[in-house]
Amino acid sequence: MRKGISEQSSNGYKIIVVDDESGIIDSLSIFLRRSGYDFTGVTNPLEAIERVKNEHFDLMLLDYIMTPIHGDQVVEEIRKFNKELYILLLTGHKDLAPPLETIRRLDIQGYCEKSDKFDQLLLLVESGIKAINQMNVIKDINTELKDTYEKLERSYMESIQTLRYTVEAKDTYTRGHSDRVSEYSVLIGKYMGLSEEDLRTLRIGGLFHDVGKIGVPDSILLKTEKLTDDEYSEIKNHPTIGAHILSTATIFQDLIPIVKHHHEKYDGTGYPSKLKGEEIPLFARIAAVADTFDAMTSKRTYRDALPLDVVKAEIERCKGTQFDPKIADVFLDILNNHYDEIEEIR
C-alpha cells in the first residue's frame, strides 16, 4: 500500500484525502492541486488518523468503505482528539452512505457521491473552506474579546487592590485579616463541595469584604476605646460603602453579596439589610463564619486572641442566631478534625 504524497501550494489550505484506492488519490491530487490546495493523499485509514494527530489539516475528504476500517470509524477516532477538522465523506453510492444519525453524531459536515466529474465536490470543498474561514474569524474575535476582558479584569483588580491596601495601611487589624477570611471561606466552600468557580468568587470576595472601610473616618477606625453608638453606626456603614465601590464594575457583581452582607445574621438582626436565614446570600453566610472566626482568634488592642475551645463554643452557641447552622457545622468539623488546614492558613 503506497504512502501519502504531500506538496505545498499557493493558497495555504491543507486538504488530506483518505481513500484505499490509489486511482482516486491520483485523480483528486491533480484536481485539488490545480485548484490551489495543499494536497496530502493517504491510502491507509490508520495512517491518516496518525497524520491528523500530528499535523494540521483544514479539511479532510474521506472514503466511507475502506479496509481495514471504514470512514465512520476513522472519524470516531479523530473526534477523540480533534473536534474542529472539517470532514466531507465520499461514498461510492448514496445507498452506501452512513445513517444521518451517525453523520450528525460524528459531526461530519457533508458527504458526496464519487463521480468522474468533480464539480460538485469542488463546490463542497469551497463551501467548507468558507465555513473554516468564518470559524477562524469567530475564533480570532473571541480571542481578542477574551484578551480585552482579561486586561479589563486585571485593571479593575489592581484598582480595588489599591483601595484594599489603602485600608490596610489605615487599620493594622485589617492587614492580613482579609487574606485569612478569603482562605477560610474557600476552605469551608471546599468541604461544602462547591465548584471551582464558586471557590474563586469566595476567594476574591473574602479579599475585598472589608474594602468599604476606606470610607470610615480614621478617628473611628483606629480608636482603641469603646465606640459610641454613633461611631458604631459609622462602622456599620462599611459593607454598604464597599458594595457601592464595587457596583461601578459589572465584573464584580458576584462579589457584591459577600461585601454587602457578610455582617447579616441568620436570625435577621444583622446589618445592613436585616436579611434572615437563606435570604442572606450563601457566599455571605460562609464569609460571616470565616470573618468572625478570624476576629476571635486575632489579637486586638483591647484583648488577646481567644483560646480555640472558647471560639468553638461560641460558634456552637451562635448556630441559628448569628450563623447558618449547616455552615457552622461544616466549619466546626474542620476545626475538630482538620485543624492542620487551619494552621496552614494562620
Active site amino acids: 213
**In the chain, which ranges are continuous DSSP H helix?**
22-34, 45-54, 71-78, 100-105, 119-170, 177-191, 196-208, 218-221, 229-235, 238-246, 256-261, 282-296, 308-317, 325-337, 339-345
DSSP H/E element including 16:
strand 14-18
**CA 318: distance to chain centroid?**
35
How far apart, in whole angstroms, are the C-alpha atoms of residue 294 and residue 46? 61
Could you tell me if 20 and 63 are in contact, meaning their C-beta atoms sit under 8 angstroms apart? yes
Could you tell me if 214 and 243 are in contact, meaning their C-beta atoms sit under 8 angstroms apart? no
User: What one-character DSSP code corresponds to residue 95?
Assistant: G
Q: Which three cell numbers stand for residue 135?
A: 470559524
Residue reference for cell 496530502: 40
**What is the number of alpha carbons within 13 Å of residue 295 lying toward its C-beta?**
10
Burial of 4 (0-12, 13-18, 19+ CB in 10 A): middle
Give the residue among 75, 135, 130 at the shortest CA–CA distance from 108. 75
Cis bond upstream, residue 99 (ω within 30): no
